[in-house]
Amino acid sequence: MRCDVITLFPEMVAPVLESSMLKRAREKGLLEVRVHNLRDYTLDKHKVADDVPYGGGAGMVMKAEPIFRAVENIRQPYERHGEQVRLLLPSPQGRPFTQEYAHQLAADSRPLLILCGHYEGIDERVRVALKPEEISIGDYVLTGGELAALVLIDAAARLISGVLGAPESLAEESFSEPLLEYPHYTRPAEVRGLSVPEVLLSGHHEAIRLWRRKQALRTTQERRPDLLKDRELTLEDRRLLDEIIREGVRYAGVCGGGG
């Protein structure tokens, strides 16, 4: 996966790419990300990349010309090799980002070029001329597109074969399925008087599989019933869900949390 990021704040992006799994993916050559400072594409001596909005009002708008120059300069070497780039623009007005969308980005052979808007946004003429694919990572407002760009890169990169340790951790994970995760435990067997469910220490693989399946179904039923609605259930899942319903609600769900 190849990715170029255009931003006025490269320092917001670079450290995340130099940590954890994304760092390792880059070291393995599975992920290539280059961060470009939009200021480098300005032409005036003060390197101005934003300006006040026509018509007045609060905030600043990113100027069109530096963005055009950045996109053209970054695209050029790819196009000389006969490659099209996929231009992405994180924005609350974009198409909602989902796990399926992440798969689609990961599977695309084209390099991704992510344009990060900051402040109030970008001059509308950039949208008109370059027709970027607008993506929203959720219905809330960020200070800029940088964190959203990192979300896109992170979610897509981990789907590339070889980025995660074991391939099965991808196959059985939530949202590919889509079920929420079952609870995880690691050593010691008791901490602060809290123990690990007996079945996980039993070594009975089938009993463990069923327990995990049931927990995943329980959490999904309680917190995200929308994920189970209109879904074909196997006989096994149906039976586990019946048990769960008979046992009653154990987790207060979103009502008891921040919601």
Q: Give the binding site for ligand 4GX (CB under 6 A).
A: 89-92, 117, 121-122, 136-138, 140-142, 144-145, 148
Q: Residue 108 CB, nearest distance to ligand 4GX (Å)?
A: 19
Nearer to ligand 4GX, 93 or 176 (CB): 93
Euclidean distance between CA atoms 90 and 133, whole angstroms: 8
Structure tokens at 238: 């149906």
Q: Closer to ligand 4GX by CB, 10 or 145: give it.
A: 145
Bridge partners, residue 118, by sequence: 144
Q: Which residue has its beta carbon closest to ligand 4GX?
A: 117
The torsion angle over the Cα atoms of residues 71, 77, 79 and 83, rounded to 10 degrees, is: -100
- DSSP alpha helix (H) spans, the chain: 10-17, 20-27, 64-80, 99-107, 124-130, 146-157, 167-171, 198-201, 205-223, 235-247
Min. distance of Cβ 160 from ligand 4GX in angstroms? 22
Nearer to ligand 4GX, 17 or 126 (CB): 126
Integer angstrom CA distances of residue 71 from 13, 76, 132, 250? 18, 8, 11, 52
- 33 touches 63 (CB < 8 A): no
144 or 212: CB nearest ligand 4GX = 144
Instruction: Give me the least distance between CB of 49 and ligand 4GX, in Å please.
Output: 13
Nearer to ligand 4GX, 114 or 240 (CB): 114
Cβ 78 to ligand 4GX, closest distance in Å? 23
